[in-house]
Amino acid sequence: MSTILIDGRTIAFKPGDNILRAALEADVEIPHFCYHAALDSLGACRLCAVEIKPKNSNEAPRLTMACLEPAKEGLEVSVSAAAAQQVRRHVIELLMINHPHDCPICDEGGECHLQEMTVTCGPPYRRYRGRKRTFTNQDLGPLIHHEMNRCITCYRCTRFYQDYALGNDLGAMRLRNEVYFGRFQDGPLESPFAGNLVEICPTGVFTDALFRQRFARAWDLNTAPSICPHCSVGCNTLPGARDGTLRRVRSRTHPELNRWFICDRGRYGHQYSEHCARLLSPRVSGENTSYHKALNAATTRIKATQNCIGGIGSAREDLEGNTMLQALLNEVGGVFTAFNDPALEAATIAAVSWLQNSAGAPSLIEMEQIDAALIIGDLTAHAPMIDLALRQAYRKGAELTLFHSSPTPLAQFTTSAITVPPREMYAKLSHLCTLINALLAGRDISDDPMAVIAKSLIKARQPLLIGTIETLTATDASVLAKLAITLGPNARLTYALSGPNAYGSALLAPEGNAMQILESVETGKIKTLIVAGNDPFSDPRFGLRWRAACRNLNTLIVLDCILTATAEAADILFPVAAWTERGGTFVNYEGRAQSFLPVFHRPEYLPSAADVIADLAKYLECSRQDVLSVLQDTFPDFQVPAPGTLGSPIPVSLPPISDSPSAGSPLLSSNNSTWQTALMSWYGDETLASFAPGLTSLAPATIAMIEQATATATGIVDGSKIRLRGSADSVVLPVQLNQNIAAGTVGIGRNVLVRLGLGHGDPIELEKVL
């Protein structure tokens, strides 16, 4: 490897590196502002001035910007040269001319890059005595606070927002001494990644508005490596807590996953753990009680209904909790599943099985390198950071194709976006599979409208096929996998799963258990149901059946950290620690197990779900009571990775999925005259995050979305009202016409689906309201 010399230290560099990048990667500090590894060099701030030693001794040394100077073999660089120091001192003095010097009341204080650089390089006194330039701030919504006077014009914000995250509602206005970073008018920033401005801004222009409400200095925060619990990607986070409350969440660098960023759901969804209705005391029959009394009550009821017990784990419950529940049920003669929706169970198990029997899911940085992708569903809502990775691929010229049923922000970056009704997704994917086979066999398919897509996937160096499991059936997932096999060994396959530990929970129980438990509860065969971190009552499609069935139960035991509909109905309720209050392990969409540590503890005793079940096992005198040994028994070759490391693959394999799908799972094309539903999601749409008031205040309005042509044919006009009738209820909603929704499909939000008792793709009755 080639090397350069920085102040006598030998630094290795990769081809294409500039001096600054090489130095920072070798942990050699060169002062800088505008450079960021994700955004590369700009040369705007002039702070990274260094002196280059001339080759010939009769030439004078040369000053240059380290971020703009390519590293060359043998180059001798001095950061400490007097001339370089002088440039940096002047740059800081200039940048500080208009700065308000408001560090004591600035939220960035203590972790401010400008503060650090001023102390490191700047003059200790202020010479300028003139008037400072001042700006009017904008209201950027409930999540981000704007304070323009602190700006040093490094352009990191717009380079991240516009160039990296491809947003278009934050820009650099005006010119010269008055450059202003803001929006056209006041209003919330629209990008799902806007919260990263808080971290990318080297001063206090953009700060966390929720953190501001319950502020603590950075050095007073308790932190520990954590994993984001809001989707299946498993971004690494660094939450900060003080005085027994959680104050903020920041990103923690994982070089293969989220790198420097997290989405706004991950950053602001943490408010669920501070929700005013948060469960803090165990309850038995609606009365608050002590932990031990609740355990005693649960023990008595479980003993009384031996062999008539069911347990539902969760895709948002960690590996320890799910495994303990499964082990407990094995001992007391019960059935376990991690899913309350049999269709989601089937789809997740199919997806995990296909991933294990293919080359495995690519990491986010591998996804950034692909050159073509077929995306099924609304990726932004189900795995926002995968969306951000694909935006990077798009920036490098990848051709993205999208099959979607409802509007999704990613559509604007695709080469072709095709709206497909949920029930026709299978047919559409199968047709594409046929086309690709035909093309590979050398047949001419050019008169088919989808030929372009087939060709783009075939000619790609590395095509990616990705589906959002929550809106796909097991058969859809399988046909996507077959498409990947057809495309050959270079094709990569992955799925956005339904929760942070969906992969891990899918390994624990066979497909069909969810339906078996539901039916057993309905027939009265199961008398006691233990639910850990799940909410079967709020399942769009099966919620109604679960509610009715649970009336047959003797006892409903719920363990959760949020007050879900199921938790409210529980006979025995154990409040458990939120994700930042406990340690555990999540298995992400790649099958990568990542552990996390408790960041802080509340004054109340809040054990993890695994601890509660371990205590239950003790009270029940079961033989397996220890979390670690149960984990060891269930996954023999698995060593729990240390928190803060890159994680390790979970060495368990599911059997391959057979070609004949189990009954009940395929969603096939229905009669064209009937309407079908489509889940309309947004990036804050997730169970835990729905308890975060700051984030949910940005939720889109409750409307019914219908495609223009279908609406015209049926005489429905924009803004009129329609009545939607489902199996549980009927609702009247205003209509919004949109081009980006599939024909014959009504797009409605999750809350409305739950109220109607309908799942994604179910038939729905629709009538005009006069």
Q: Which residues of this chain interact with another protein, rule CB under 8 A? A: 168-176, 180, 183-185
Residue closer to another protein (CB basis): 169 or 331: 169
Strand partners, 373: 400, 464
140, two tokens = 């950027």
Q: How far is the CB of 712 from another protein (least distance, A)?
A: 22
How far, CA to CA in Å, does 713 sit from each of 155, 158, 716, 738, 744?
49, 44, 8, 14, 10
Residue closer to another protein (CB basis): 180 or 215: 180
How far, CA to CA in Å, does 43 sit from each of 67, 83, 215, 490?
7, 18, 34, 38
Q: How far is the CB of 409 from another protein (least distance, A)?
A: 13
Please tell me what DSSP assigns to residue 337.
Answer: E
Q: How far is the CB of 169 from another protein (least distance, A)?
A: 5
Q: How far is the CB of 157 from another protein (least distance, A)?
A: 12
End-to-end CA gap in the chain: 75
Please tell me what DSSP assigns to residue 70.
Answer: B
Q: How far is the CB of 180 from another protein (least distance, A)?
A: 8
The amino acid present at 212, given as its one-letter code, is R
Helix (H) or strand (E) holding 699: none
User: What is the rounded distance in angstroms from the CA atom of residue 36 to the CA atom of residue 671?
Assistant: 54
Task: Tell me if 380 sits within 8 A of 192, measured CB to CB.
Answer: yes
Residue closer to another protein (CB basis): 185 or 623: 185
User: What is the rounded distance in angstroms from the CA atom of residue 147 to the CA atom of residue 543?
Assistant: 46
User: What is the rounded distance in angstroms from the CA atom of residue 31 to the CA atom of residue 503?
Assistant: 43
Q: How far is the CB of 168 from another protein (least distance, A)?
A: 4
DSSP helix/strand/coil, 150: helix
DSSP helix/strand/coil, 693: helix
Please tell me what DSSP assigns to residue 271.
Answer: G
Q: How far is the CB of 179 from another protein (least distance, A)?
A: 9
Residue closer to another protein (CB basis): 21 or 156: 156
Residue closer to another protein (CB basis): 172 or 703: 172
Task: Tell me if 228 sits within 8 A of 272, measured CB to CB.
Answer: no
Q: How far is the CB of 394 from another protein (least distance, A)?
A: 17
Q: How far is the CB of 186 from another protein (least distance, A)?
A: 12
Q: How far is the CB of 172 from another protein (least distance, A)?
A: 6
Residue closer to another protein (CB basis): 162 or 369: 162
3-state helix, strand, coil in the chain (%, to 5): 35, 20, 45
Q: What is the dihedral of CA 421, 424, 429, 433, to 10 degrees?
A: -150
Sign of the Cα torsion 525, 528, 534, 540 reads: positive
Other beta carbons less than 10 A from residue 123's beta carbon: 12
Residue closer to another protein (CB basis): 171 or 734: 171
Q: How far is the CB of 452 from another protein (least distance, A)?
A: 22
Residue closer to another protein (CB basis): 187 or 333: 187
Q: How far is the CB of 184 from another protein (least distance, A)?
A: 4
Q: How far is the CB of 182 from another protein (least distance, A)?
A: 8
Let me know if 416 is exposed, middle or buried by CB neighbors in 10 A (0-12, 13-18, 19+).
middle
610, two tokens = 């695994």
Residue closer to another protein (CB basis): 84 or 143: 143
Strand partners, 553: none
Residue closer to another protein (CB basis): 42 or 172: 172
Residue closer to another protein (CB basis): 55 or 131: 131
Q: How far is the CB of 161 from another protein (least distance, A)?
A: 10
User: What is the rounded distance in angstroms from the CA atom of residue 344 to the CA atom of residue 352?
Assistant: 12
How far, CA to CA in Å, does 354 sit from each of 233, 314, 612, 707?
18, 21, 34, 34
User: What is the rounded distance in angstroms from the CA atom of residue 311 to the CA atom of residue 332?
Assistant: 11
Tokens 């929700």 correspond to what residue? 275
What are the backbone dihedrals phi and psi of residue 217, each rounded to the nearest 5 degrees, phi first? -65, 145
Residue closer to another protein (CB basis): 167 or 749: 167
In Å, how far from its chain's centre is CA 309?
A: 34
Task: Tell me if 361 sits within 8 A of 494, measured CB to CB.
Answer: yes
Strands 334-337 and 372-376: unpaired
Residue closer to another protein (CB basis): 201 or 370: 201
Q: How far is the CB of 281 from another protein (least distance, A)?
A: 48
Residue closer to another protein (CB basis): 175 or 701: 175
Residue closer to another protein (CB basis): 43 or 171: 171
Residue closer to another protein (CB basis): 290 or 739: 739
Q: How far is the CB of 76 from another protein (least distance, A)?
A: 35
Task: Tell me if 265 sits within 8 A of 233, measured CB to CB.
Answer: no
Q: Where are the alpha helices (DSSP H) in 318-440?
A: 319-332, 342-356, 364-367, 379-382, 384-395, 425-440
Q: How far is the CB of 97 from another protein (least distance, A)?
A: 18
| Residue burial 389-409, b: 16+ Cβ < 10 Å; e: rest | bbbbbbeeebbbbbbbbbbbb
Residue closer to another protein (CB basis): 358 or 415: 415
The amino acid present at 526, given as its one-letter code, is I
Helix (H) or strand (E) holding 618: helix 609-619
